[in-house]
């Protein structure tokens, strides 16, 4: 991505020609990475970018094509959340992150495929059909930001935005061999992000390298008064060069290498840790006793918040309405039955149950207490180390049809990604090798809140030495 930014300035490369070439590739692609391509408006934006370049604008994002997950509102451009419920929804406003990107003259190339309402890990629950993994089109790109990950990996955009509630940026980044960052909760505005679980959702950048991710993160972060959970203070300046890793301590939680971890994944992640050691970092073992309850806590908290957030899709205020029914209740019932897919319904039922009188204390309240303990474990760990490292996902990309009927097994695969969401800390996934089939494997780094500078600096140094991120499907 940064290489292209340079060529826009030093060679005869024009953002208009580049966009046309990319759009052509997107139309010819059968990965189903995009739900909607942004044709004419994107070309206008590219023309404008060309003008800015001529005027000497030195912002690296000018003219670059950014793909946007389809749960981030784009004014005048359909935003579906991959749901029948919002299949024709055209937002009258831009999300805060989109406004920031447009101001920098980045080009929004299109809206990417995802699991319906960001609930899932496969992109298979999309009402627009599954996206496919560029490394093997018969496999899932992961999810829920699977379209964004596939688009980056297949070169159908320069970088992308995703959203991460329990791993939806990092898990598809891992499956598609790219770099993805879930920022600190509150560091990127959620204004204009369609809510799934508001206390966990964060928008974040996905790109080939940590450097590209850093540039995009720097562009979208910052305080926004329209998001009441937006943080006033952010992280220190983001480095654009790798950092010296001597003197850095990297903690490894023993339970990261527990049962159920694929052997190739374990081998590659251990090799990644050895690279960090070679670069001067100290790797130490840690115990984080409450992390094993992350999945259980998350699958109560996230559905509880989702059941409340999704109550607005009632056929009256937003989206789909089936109206030839006799009374209001029937209209609600018909609209929600037809508008939502199975996974979304499952979450609404789980969440409504967990919040109902008589069960609230036993489930939602208990899960919130566990969440506090997990955050405390992580805080204590960071008093002894600068970063935590481990696998992003216990497995590599699996077949498109696999696990569709086994939601529980799918939920369990989120074991490594969920803790960062529950604690609100930043976490990143980057490629660290390949399995026996040649499928990419991701290594996850976590840092204390607002320390994306350390997270990205360490990732850049790792990538400068390993170059796994440069291998293409």
Give the residue numbers marked as catalytic.
Answer: 69, 144, 168
Select from 433, 417, 467 the least CA-distant residue to 272.
433
431 interacts with ligand GLN by CB under 6 A: no
CA distances from 426 to 62, 190, 281, 448, 450 (A): 26, 15, 20, 7, 7
Residues in contact with ligand GLN, shown as a per-residue x/- string from 406 to 425 under the rule CB under 6 A = --------x-----------
Select from 434, 10, 430, 66 the least CA-distant residue to 242.
430
Burial of residue 437 (CB within 10 Å: 0-12, 13-18, 19+) is exposed
Q: Which range touches ligand GLN (CB under 6 A), out of 46-54, 74-82, 112-120, 183-191? A: 112-120
Give the angle subtended at the CA of 95 by the CAs of 89 and 97, to the nearest 5°. 140
207 interacts with ligand GLN by CB under 6 A: no
148 interacts with ligand GLN by CB under 6 A: no
Smallest gap from residue 162 Cβ to ligand GLN (A)? 9
Q: Which is nearer to ligand GLN, 158 or 414 (CB)?
A: 414
Q: Which is nearer to ligand GLN, 91 or 167 (CB)?
A: 167
Q: Which is nearer to ligand GLN, 170 or 211 (CB)?
A: 170
DSSP, collapsed to helix, strand or coil, labels residue 204 as: strand
- Count the neighbouring beta carbons within 10 Å of the beta carbon of residue 262: 17
Strands 427-434 and 249-253: unpaired
Smallest gap from residue 142 Cβ to ligand GLN (A)? 9
Q: Which range touches ligand GLN (CB under 6 A), out of 17-25, 161-169, 231-239, 259-267? A: 161-169
In the set 62, 118, 215, 447, which binds ligand GLN (CB under 6 A)?
Answer: 118
Q: Which is nearer to ligand GLN, 302 or 320 (CB)?
A: 302
- Count the neighbouring beta carbons within 10 Å of the beta carbon of residue 330: 13
In the set 49, 106, 302, 425, which binds ligand GLN (CB under 6 A)?
Answer: 302
Nearest residue to the partner ligand GLN, using Cβ: 168
Describe the strand order of the beta sheet including 387-391 as a list of residue ranges: 34-37, 107-112, 65-69, 159-164, 202-207, 179-182, 427-434, 440-446, 387-391, 249-253, 282-286
120 interacts with ligand GLN by CB under 6 A: yes
Alpha-carbon gap, residue 115 to 92, rounded angstroms: 23
Q: Which is nearer to ligand GLN, 79 or 121 (CB)?
A: 121
The footprint of ligand GLN (CB under 6 A) covers 118-121, 144, 164-168, 196, 302, 414
């Amino acid at each position: 991505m940064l290489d292209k930014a340079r060529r826009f300035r030093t060679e005869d490369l024009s953002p208009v020609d580049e966009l046309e070439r990319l759009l052509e590739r997107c139309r010819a692609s059968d990965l189903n990475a995009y739900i909607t391509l942004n044709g004419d408006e994107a070309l206008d934006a590219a023309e404008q970018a060309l003008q800015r370049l001529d005027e000497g604008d030195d912002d690296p994002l000018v003219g670059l094509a950014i793909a946007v997950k389809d749960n981030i509102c784009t004014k005048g451009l359909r935003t579906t959340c991959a749901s029948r419920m919002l299949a024709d929804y055209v937002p009258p406003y831009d999300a805060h992150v989109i406004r920031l990107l447009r101001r920098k003259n980045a080009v929004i190339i299109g809206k990417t495929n995802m699991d319906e309402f960001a609930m899932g890990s496969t992109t298979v629950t999309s009402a627009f059909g599954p996206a496919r993994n560029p490394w093997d089109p018969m496999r899932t790109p992961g999810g829920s930001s699977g379209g964004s990950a596939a688009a980056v990996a297949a070169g159908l955009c320069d970088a992308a935005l995703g959203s991460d509630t329990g791993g939806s940026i990092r898990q598809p980044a891992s499956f598609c061999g790219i770099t993805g960052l879930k920022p600190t909760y509150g560091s990127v505005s959620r204004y204009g992000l369609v809510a799934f679980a508001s206390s966990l959702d964060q928008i974040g950048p996905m790109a080939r390298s940590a450097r590209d991710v850093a540039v995009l993160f720097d562009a979208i972060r910052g305080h926004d008064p329209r998001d009441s959970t937006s943080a006033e203070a952010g992280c220190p300046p983001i480095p654009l060069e790798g950092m010296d890793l001597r003197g850095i301590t990297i903690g490894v939680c023993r339970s990261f290498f527990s049962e159920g971890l694929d052997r190739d994944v374990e081998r590659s992640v251990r090799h990644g840790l050895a690279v960090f050691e070679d670069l001067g970092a100290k790797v130490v073992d840690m115990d984080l006793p409450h992390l094993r309850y992350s999945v259980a806590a998350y699958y109560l908290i996230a559905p509880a918040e989702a059941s409340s957030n999704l109550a607005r899709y009632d056929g009256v205020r937003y989206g789909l309405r089936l109206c030839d029914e006799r009374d209001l209740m029937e209209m609600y019932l018909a609209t929600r039955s037809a508008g939502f897919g199975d996974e979304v319904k499952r979450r609404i039922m789980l969440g409504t149950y967990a919040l109902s009188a008589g069960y609230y204390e036993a489930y939602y309240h208990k899960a919130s207490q566990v969440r506090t303990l997990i955050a405390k474990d992580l805080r204590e760990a960071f008093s002894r180390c600068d970063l935590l490292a481990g696998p992003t996902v216990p497995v590599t990309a699996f077949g498109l049809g696999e696990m569709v009927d086994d939601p529980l097994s799918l939920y369990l695969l989120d074991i490594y990604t969920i803790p960062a969401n529950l604690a609100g800390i930043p976490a990143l996934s980057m490629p660290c090798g390949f399995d026996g089939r040649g499928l990419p494997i991701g290594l996850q780094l976590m840092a204390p809140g607002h320390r994306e500078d350390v997270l990205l600096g360490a990732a850049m140094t790792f990538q400068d030495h390993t170059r796994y991120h440069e291998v293409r499907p």
